Amino acid sequence: MNYFLLGIVFIVYFIMVGYVGYLAWKRTNSSEDFMIAGRETHPYIMALSYGATFISTAAIVGFGGVAGKYGMGILWLVFLNIFVGVFIAFVFFGKRTRRMGKNLGSLTFPEFLGRRFNSKFIQYFSGILIFCAMPIYAAVVLIGAARFMESSLMLDFNLALLVLAVVICAYVLFGGLKGVMYTDALQGTIMFVGMIILLAFIYWVLGGVTEANTALTNMAALYPPDAIAEGGTGWTSFPTLGSPFWWSLVTTTIMGVGIGALAQPQLAVRFMTVKSNKELHRSLLIGAIFIAVMTCTAYIVGSLSNVYFYQNFGQIAIDYVGGNMDSIIPTFISTALPEWFVYIFLLSLLAAAMSTLSSQYHTQGTALGHDIVDAIRNRGGSDEYTAEEINKRGDAVEESKIGFISVSQAGILIAVILSLVIGLALPGSIVALGTSLFMGLCAAAFLPVYCAALFWKRTTKQGAIAGLLSGTLTSLFLLVIVFKK
| pLDDT, tens digit (0-9, with 9 covering 90-100), for 172-210 | 776 677 778 888 888 888 889 888 989 999 999 999 999
Q: Is 172 exposed, middle or buried (0-12, 13-18, 19+ CB in 10 A)?
A: buried
- Are the CB atoms for 101 and 329 separated by under 8 Å? no
Mean pLDDT of 224-244: 91
* Contact in structure between 443 and 260 (CB atoms under 8 Å): yes
Q: How far apart are CA 333 and CA 135, in angstroms?
A: 28
* Mean pLDDT value across residues 72-92: 92
Residue 345 scores a pLDDT above 90: no
Q: In the chain, what are the domain boundaries?
A: 3-483
Which residues are 2's β-sheet partners?
none
pLDDT at 379 over 70: no
What pLDDT is stored for residue 403 in this prediction?
44
Tens digit of each residue's pLDDT (9 = 90 or more) over 129-161: 999 999 988 888 888 778 777 776 777 888 888
What is the chain's mean pLDDT, rounded? 85
94 or 374: whose pLDDT is higher?
Answer: 94
Whether 398 shows a pLDDT value over 60: the answer reads no
pTM comes to: 0.83
Return the higher-pLDDT residue of 300 and 141.
Answer: 300
**Bigger pLDDT: 392 vs 94:** 94
Residue 402 has pLDDT above 80, yes or no: no
For domain 3-483, give its CATH number from 3.20.20.70, 1.20.1730.10, 3.40.50.800, 3.50.50.60: 1.20.1730.10
Give the residue-averaged pLDDT of 441-457: 94
Grade residue 404 by pLDDT with cuts at 50, 70 and 90: very low
**Quick check: 482 pLDDT over 50?**
yes
Who has greater pLDDT, 36 or 451? 451
- Residue 76 confidence (pLDDT): 92
| Cβ atoms < 10 Å from Cβ of 344 | 18
How many helices (H) and strands (E) in the chain? 24, 2
Q: Which of 38-52, 135-149, 246-260, 280-294 has the highest mean pLDDT?
A: 280-294
- Please tell me the least confidently modeled range out of 54-58, 150-154, 208-212, 354-358: 150-154
d(CA 121, CA 125): 6
Tell me 269's DSSP state. G
Distance CA 132, CA 73 (A): 32
- Bigger pLDDT: 337 vs 461: 461
Strand duo 405-406 + 401-402: pairing: antiparallel
The mean per-residue pLDDT over the stretch 445-452 comes to 95
Residue 161 has a pLDDT of 85
Q: Output the pLDDT for position 381.
A: 60
Quote the pLDDT of residue 225. 92
Any idea which of 160-174, 178-192, 286-300 has the lowest mean pLDDT? 160-174
- The 3-class secondary structure across 111-168, one letter per residue, is HHHHHHCCCHHHHHHHHHHHHHHHHHHHHHHHHHHHHHHHHHHCCCHHHHHHHHHHHH
Residue bearing the bigger pLDDT, 451 or 18: 451
For 311-326, b/e burial (b = at least 16 CB within 10 A) is: eeeeebbbbbbeebbb
> Is residue 299 very low, low, confident or very high in pLDDT (cuts 50, 70, 90)?
very high
Mean pLDDT to the nearest integer, 390-412: 61
Is residue 251 very low, low, confident or very high in pLDDT (cuts 50, 70, 90)?
confident
What sections of 404-455 are H helices per DSSP? Answer: 407-425, 431-455
Q: Cα–Cα distance between 351 and 182 in angstroms, integer?
A: 12
| 205, 206, 211, 214 alpha-carbon torsion, rounded to 10° | -150
The answer to whether 409 and 173 are in contact (CB under 8 A) is yes
204-216: per-residue pLDDT in tens?
A: 999 999 999 999 9
**CA distance linking residue 208 with residue 86, whole number of Å:** 30
In the predicted structure, residue 59 carries a pLDDT above the cut 50: yes
257/384: higher pLDDT: 257
Q: Which pLDDT does position 332 carry in this prediction? A: 92
Closest CA to 291 of 437, 192, 197, 193: 192
Which amino acid, one-letter code, is at 18? G
Residue 398, number of CB atoms within 10 A of its CB = 10
| pLDDT at residue number 144 | 77
**pLDDT value of position 429:** 65
Q: Which residue, 118, 75, 147, is CA-closest to 298? A: 75
Q: Which of 274-278, 285-289, 407-411 has the lowest mean pLDDT?
A: 407-411
**Max mean pLDDT range (172-176, 212-216, 253-257, 358-362):** 212-216
Cβ contact 170:272 at 8 Å = no
Q: Using the 8-state DSSP alphabet, how is residue 231 labeled?
A: T
pLDDT for res 206: 93
Range of lowest pLDDT (251-255, 400-404, 470-474): 400-404
Compute the average pLDDT of residues 229-242: 91
Residue 290, H or E segment = helix 277-313
Angle between helices 43-54 and 339-366 (to 10 degrees): 100
Nearest to 71 by CA among 384, 323, 303, 407: 303
